[in-house]
Amino acid sequence: MTSTPFVRHNAPSWYEASARERVRGLLDAGSFKEFIGPEQRETSPHLGIFDLPRQFDDGIVVGRGKLSGKPVFVAAQEGRFMGGAFGEVHGAKLTGLLRAARDAKSIPVLILFDTGGVRLQEANAGELAIGEIMRALLEARRAGAKVIGLIGGRAGCYGGGGLLAGCCSALAVSEHGRIAVSGPEVIETNRGVEEFDSKDRSLVWRTMGGKNRRLIGGADAFVDDTIEAFRAAALFLIERAPAFGLDVLKAEQARLAERLNRFGACADGLDIWKQEGIVDAASVPGMSAEDFTALANRIREPRYDAR
Amino acid sequence: METFSYRHKAERRSTGSKAQAIIGVVASGNLEVLVERVLPDTECQVEVSTPITGFGSVWEAVITDFVERRSPGGLKLSINDGGARADTVALRLAQAVRLIEEEGR
Amino acid sequence: MTDWRKGQGARDARIRAGAKFAKGKIVEARDATALLESVILPGDRVCLEGDNQKQADLLAGALAAVDVGKVHDLHMVQSGVVLPEHLDIFETGVAKRLDYAFSGPQSTRIAKMLFGGKIELGAVHTYLELFARYFIDLTPNVALIVAISADRDGNLYTGPNTEDTPTVVEATTFKDGVVIAQVNEIVDKVPRVDIPGDRVNFVVKSDKPFYVEPLFTRDPGAVTEAQILTAMLAIKGIYEPYGVRRLNHGIGFNTAAIELLLPTYGERLGLKGKVATHFALNPHPTLIPAIESGWVQQIHSFGGEVGMEDYIRARPDIYFTGPDGSLRSNRAFCQTAGLYACDMFIGSTLQIDLLGNSSTVTTSRIAGFGGAPNMGSDARGRRHPSDPWLQAGKEADPDSPAALRRGRKLVVQIVESFGDKNVPTFVEKLDALELAEKLGLKLAPVMVYADDVTHIVSEAGIANLLLCRTKDEREQAIRGVAGYTDVGRGRDKKMVQHLRERGVVRWPEDLGIDPLEADRSLLAARSIEDLVQWSGGLYAAPSRFRNW
Amino acid sequence: MTLADILASLFPAGHDVVQEGGLLFGSGPLKDGGRITVIGVADRTPLGVDEALRLAGHVLAILEQGGDGPILVLVDSDSQRMSKRDELLGLNEFLAHLAKCLIYAGLQGRHTIGLLYGHSAAGAFIATVMATRSLVALPGATPAVMDLPSMSRVTKLSIEALQEKAKSTPVFAPGLDNLAQTGAVLAIWDDKSSLADQLQALLGQAEDGGDRRDRLGKARKGRPKAADIAERVHDLALQPE
């Protein structure tokens, strides 16, 4: 028996790309215009205390561009610099962008999350930045802007980043994407390895990974790890995402209550997936994006009116 | 943090018309290079900020070679280093110049 | 009258002593320590099977638990010092003297214990060398081996990780020693008889599968641009011009990068079928794309690799599989194959000096040699010709008449000029020398001797040492590819320029390679997941390498 | 001050605030005649999926009743509950949902007030008091982004080294004063005088003029750059192309 060999498609990988490469590939060619670019050298005023090197853009790229001809605001975190964590400058750039989206009212915002959470070396400033971003994000949504989160980077989307993701109008996530509040190591440190073995990658992904998030309704779209796929998902979700108001919050309350009700007693991702009606739950983690998307759409239609 | 600044004469002006480009990230074993077209055509400047001390002579050798090989006239290159190896530095410098010389990216 | 059967008598006495704990040949795991206490005598030479990958972990634990009043001063003769118990027995006095080959995971502790005088060191060997001594002057009295399954007669199935077992058993059984095997399960019929039952005296059933280290798995996600550049240099500057078809790849990311570039960069150079067709090689997962793309014709393996079992089973045209379909590896044979039937060894190292001697020893770590010095040496007994061998011989000695000229094996050291934590690979003096002085060793632990090395490849270029005619040229050729290390910056620029003109030193631009092309998009697989896909889902990556 | 003391000082005329499973629900009369809804977390309870959903549900029920009455969020919590179960179920969404409900209430014209009277940390802090329009604290409150052992593990610095740096660096060190300096805390109330008066005074302050915390942080020299950076990005983004 012979088979056709797999040839890795050479479409640029989202996971491997830098924040700038993601932005460049996501938007219409040549359309991106950065605000406070690296040449302005607006670096962190705090990292020096820890003798840590700074990055000219403080780990986030914000600006404006076009997606399929229409204007969008975009912010992309660089997960390799300080784990993509929110510091004072980093956070303020995103706050400013979202406040602008609020005032512009109809321009969608794409947030390319890639973050371990708050940058601990400037923890108070970073924590407050999350609060400010959150408020600006919701003001933008209430004014009519769609805010779409795209998650599939090295650092995942943890801590305050996870909360911000939960505030977006819609989320697209890839296999690599992880969304959570407490990171695996933090849980292990605080609760012991019996509660959570942070070195067990399979466990980490079953718990926080993109597939579980899509299956429980924590993300609206599951995509292949390519910039192309994230672009398509962004276009799709901008159209589907809900406005923000009391009805949406009530729908979300019901959605989350149903989840607690159905899965609250599950000990593992596998149990949830079985409960969802997936017979061979153990095969889910190894599934290709295409197969998984088909399965997920069959099991749980994304609902776009409840976040 | 240790900082260095090197000024060199370059043989010719770097080609292309882009005003600036940036490559790399500040991460363990990596670095970012910001390149800006802000100097007279035969001058080149490299600014380095690194948390790893004691490698001054290596930086100097890498940058001297770089100027010789790539002739980055008119360019100012600013480096934030995350503890990169010399060959990675050389590669990023070359990538930075390629990026600013390319059109349309 | 001379008693010519003392050895047999002693063996029979040991077996009788052990039989108290056995039903037939089968011994319960809880009796393992008592069994060892009755079979092993003070001062015995014992082989506690610690291979490169698989470990007789239950028996190691049992030996560590013996009463030191009953069993002590053992002379351990084993290829791998891998488990903590392998060294614990020297702390307690159960063992005293050690002859071994490889100590990867225990390299720091073994160094400490050698400095502290806790271990009386015989020598550090290559695998083949230690195996050879099993038959001459280091024959075990007792061998504690490991297999997957046994039947009631003691026939053993060693599975994909046969590794050292046949060699150890051969030397022990046929010279009046006792063989004790730990197995994962007792079965009615083993899938394949790797060790005949009449060579096995006792079988201990373990409660859990023996430990195997996925030593040869490299995650493509961690391959760097510098490693890709170095791999490009090796393919274009060595594989292509010599037309190397029969070869061995060492362990590490540099050779993994080569494996991942064959179906992309190698394809572009038109080298498919012309290079890298026959390997003496463990089942490296990173070779899957090249195999699936039709590059590779045959691979013989030293050992197995965790997760590769089903893939190998489905590719019997490529691998050596038993009639039962599973991989049959054999370290002794594969080492011999690497020595005599391969035209090239390419592998990495930690330090290279100005002559080209290389070592993986640092002042605080003694990792041992494993198989590299054997792979990475010229076989003086080789008599069959091949084009790469003849060409290398000609480059080394252009003036002798062709019919009387020995060929040369290509021994290539592939490195990056700076290693981990910015530590230079190129040095004036090897740490191995300092270590030898400190320990009073007669020989410094040199992994590959300068006179065996033919090429050094780094991201800075290739030095062809075959073409060097003087010691000075050799030193400058090495400095010429030593990048920005002190050794590299100390080069004589003029002389290196001259060597470049002669092709002794070739920098990337001399080979028409632009370092800017060295991009991860060149890799045939960028992740473990890609490898699984290449394998059609047959490769079952170990959990630490995957998200699922 | 105990919770009972605090409630007594806030509502000298009595209140119907009850505590259930570490959470607070109820309301109390204001001096000017209105009522203020009370929710909260007490006894250093960690905020997990169940708690967050209950609190959010309560806020939504209040919003559904209509009107523009104020909401007081009293907090003495742990951080978010760090457990496999909570993360498995998507704790980030539950905490975000609670924060959304509170922020939405604020945007609808209700004055939301966070009163931090004990501990709080990380996700629990963001999802509760941080999501109110006015965050005030009582002396002795101990907010922290992350405890030092966790911080030590993540930054790979020893606890001692962190403690040493904490002496000189308000921007990362745990504690109320440091956080107040960044602008997160509007005011630290005086626990010696009537909390009811201080609450009434806060409610009497001008309309919500938007998020001013970055300006406050700049004025208090706790965050030198945030306000200006945000404003510059905002202005650049709104410039015509």
Domain count, chain D: 1
For position D237, what pLDDT does the model report? Answer: 98
**What pLDDT score does D208 carry?**
67
Residues 6+ apart with CB under 8 A from A146: A108, A109, A169, A170, A237, A238, A241
**What digits encode the pLDDT tens for the residues B77-104?**
999 999 999 999 999 999 999 999 987 5
Q: What is the pLDDT of residues D126-170, one digit of tens each?
A: 999 999 999 999 999 999 987 777 778 777 888 898 888 877 778
B86 at A interface, C-beta within 8 A = no
Tokens standing for residue A213? 């998030």
CATH of the domain at D72: 3.90.226.10
Amino acid at A99: R
User: Does D100 fall in a domain?
Assistant: yes
Q: Does B30 touch chain A (CB under 8 A)?
A: yes
Q: How far apart are CA A53 and CA B50, in angstroms?
A: 7
Interface contact C292-A8, CB threshold 8 A: no
A118-137 pLDDT, tens digit per residue, is: 998 999 999 999 999 999 99
Q: Residue B23: which domain range?
A: 2-101
Percent of chain C with pLDDT over 90: 93
Q: Is the pLDDT of residue A44 over 90?
A: yes
DSSP-derived secondary structure letter, C199: G
Confidence of residue C509 (pLDDT cuts 50, 70, 90): very high
Looking at the domain assignment, is residue D127 inside a domain? yes
Residues of chain A neighbouring C533 (CB-CB closer than 8 A): 6, 8, 288
Token pair 């008889």 is at which residue? C193
* Residues facing D142 on adjacent strands: D119
Establish if A69 touches chain C: CB-CB under 8 angstroms: no
3-state SS, one letter per residue, for chain D? CCHHHHHHHHCCCCCCCEEECCEEEEEEECCCCCEEEEEEEEEEEEECHHHHHHHHHHHHHHHHCCCCCCEEEEEEEEEECCCHHHHHCCHHHHHHHHHHHHHHHHHCCCCEEEEECCEEEHHHHHHCHHHCCEEEECCCCEEECCCHHHHHHHHCCCHHHHHHHHHHCCCCCCCHHHHHHHCCCCEECCCCCCHHHHHHHHHCCCCCCCCCHHHHHHHCCCCCCHHHHHHHHHHHHHCCC
Q: Who among B27, B49, B105 is closest to A81 (CB)?
A: B27
Q: What whole-number distance in Å separates Cα of residue A195 and Cα of residue A189? A: 10
In a domain, D82, yes or no: yes
pLDDT band at C471 (very low <50, low <70, confident <90, very high): very high
SS3 A44: coil
Q: What is the pLDDT of residue A1?
A: 41
Set of chain B residues whose Cβ sits within 8 Å of the Cβ of C226 = 85, 87-88, 91
Contact map slice: B 35-54 vs A, CB within 8 A: 36, 49-51
Domain containing D56 equals 3-139+189-210
Sorted by sequence, the CB contacts under 8 Å of residue A95 that are 6+ apart come out as: A129, A132, A133, A136, D214, D226, D230, D233
Instruction: Give, in order, the Cα–Cα distances in Å from C280 to each of A27, C241, C250, C290, C449.
Output: 48, 21, 10, 15, 21
With a pLDDT cut of 90, the percent of chain A lying above it is 87
The region that residue C246 occupies, defined by phi over 0 for left and psi between -120 and 50 for alpha, beta otherwise, is beta
Q: Where do the domains of chain C lie, and which CATH numbers do they carry?
A: 29-212 (3.40.1080.10), 220-530 (3.40.1080.10)
Give the distance from residue B46's alpha carbon to the nearest chain A alpha carbon, in angstroms.
Answer: 14
H or E element at residue C114: helix C107-115
* H helices present in C318-406, as ranges: 331-340, 372-375, 387-396
Reported as a single tens digit per residue, the pLDDT across C101-130 is 999 889 999 999 998 899 999 999 999 999
Residue C180 amino acid letter: I
Domains of chain A, each with CATH number or no CATH = 19-299 (3.90.226.10)
Which residues from chain B sit within 8 angstroms of residue A54, using beta carbons? 26, 49, 80
Indicate if the pLDDT at residue C3 is higher than 50.
yes
Q: Which of B2, B23, B57, B58 would you mutate first to test chain C, the one with the most C CBs within 10 A?
A: B58
What does the block give as tokens for A251? 């729908």
The C-alpha of C546 sits at a distance from chain A's nearest C-alpha, in angstroms, of: 7
> Domain tally for chain B?
1
> Which residues in chain A have their CB less than 8 angstroms from residue D178's CB?
124
Chain C residues near residue B96 by CB distance under 8 angstroms: none
Does residue B34 contact residue B25 with C-beta atoms inside 8 Å?
no
Q: What is the mean pLDDT of residues C253-280?
A: 98
Task: Look up tokens 């001390």; give the residue.
Answer: B53
Query: Global pTM?
Result: 0.92
Inter-chain residue contact B85 with C225, CB threshold 8 Å = no
Q: Is the pLDDT of residue C540 over 60?
A: yes
Choose among C483, C489, C516: nearest Cβ to B94.
C516
Instruction: Return the ∠ at Cα C339 (arms to C335 and C340), rounded to 5°.
Output: 120
Write out chain D residues lying below 8 Å of A273, CB-based: none
- How far apart are alpha carbons A150 and A167 in whole angstroms? 13
Greatest Cα pair distance in chain C: 80
* Cβ distance of C547 and A205 shorter than 8 Å: yes
By CB atoms closer than 10 A (0-12, 13-18, 19+), residue C383 is: exposed
3-state secondary structure of A117: coil
Write down the pLDDT at residue D205: 86
Nearest 5°: phi and psi at B8?
Answer: -130, 155
Q: How confident is the model at residue A173 (pLDDT cuts 50, 70, 90)?
A: very high
Instruction: Please check whether residue D16 lies inside any domain of the structure.
Output: yes
Confidence category of residue A303, pLDDT binned at 50, 70, 90: confident
Q: Which chains touch C (3 or more CB pairs under 8 A)?
A: A, B
Q: How far apart are CA A91 and CA A73, in angstroms?
A: 15
> Is residue D199 one of the residues assigned to a domain?
yes
Question: What is the C-alpha separation between C530 and C292, in angstroms, rounded?
Answer: 12
pLDDT by position in tens, chain D (length 241): 899 999 999 999 999 999 999 999 999 999 888 999 999 999 999 999 999 999 999 999 999 999 999 999 999 999 999 999 999 999 999 999 999 999 999 999 999 999 999 999 999 999 999 999 999 999 999 999 877 777 787 778 888 988 888 777 788 888 899 999 999 999 999 999 999 999 999 999 866 678 999 999 999 999 999 999 999 999 999 998 7
ipTM computed for the complex: 0.90
Instruction: Judge whether D168 lies within some domain.
Output: no
pLDDT score for B104: 59
Place of tokens 């290159």: B77
Q: What local confidence, expressed as pLDDT, does residue A304 receive?
A: 82
Which tokens hold the place of D196? 């009811």
Q: Is residue D228 part of a domain?
A: no
Query: What pLDDT, in 10s, does the model give residues A74-101?
Result: 999 999 999 999 999 999 999 999 999 9
State residue C204 phi and psi, 5-degree precision: -110, 125
Q: Tell me, what CATH number does B8's domain have?
A: 3.30.230
**Contact status, residue A109 vs residue A146, Cβ threshold 8 Å:** yes
Nearest to D63 among A131, A246, A252 (CB): A246
Q: How much is the average pLDDT of A185-194?
A: 90
Residues of C in contact with B85 (CB under 8 A): 226, 416-418, 422
**Measured between beta carbons, which residues in chain C are less than 8 angstroms from residue A201?**
543-547
Non-local CB neighbours of A72 within 8 Å, separated by 6+ positions: A27, A64, A65, A66, A107, A108, A109, A110, A238
Cβ contact (<8 Å) for B26 and A54? yes
Closest CA to C102 of C54, C62, C158: C54
- The verdict on A285 touching C (C-beta cutoff 8 Å) is yes
pLDDT at residue number A2: 45
Sign of CA dihedral C357, C361, C366, C367: negative
Q: Are strands A33-34 and A60-67 parallel, antiparallel or unpaired?
A: antiparallel
**Is residue D98 assigned to a domain?**
yes
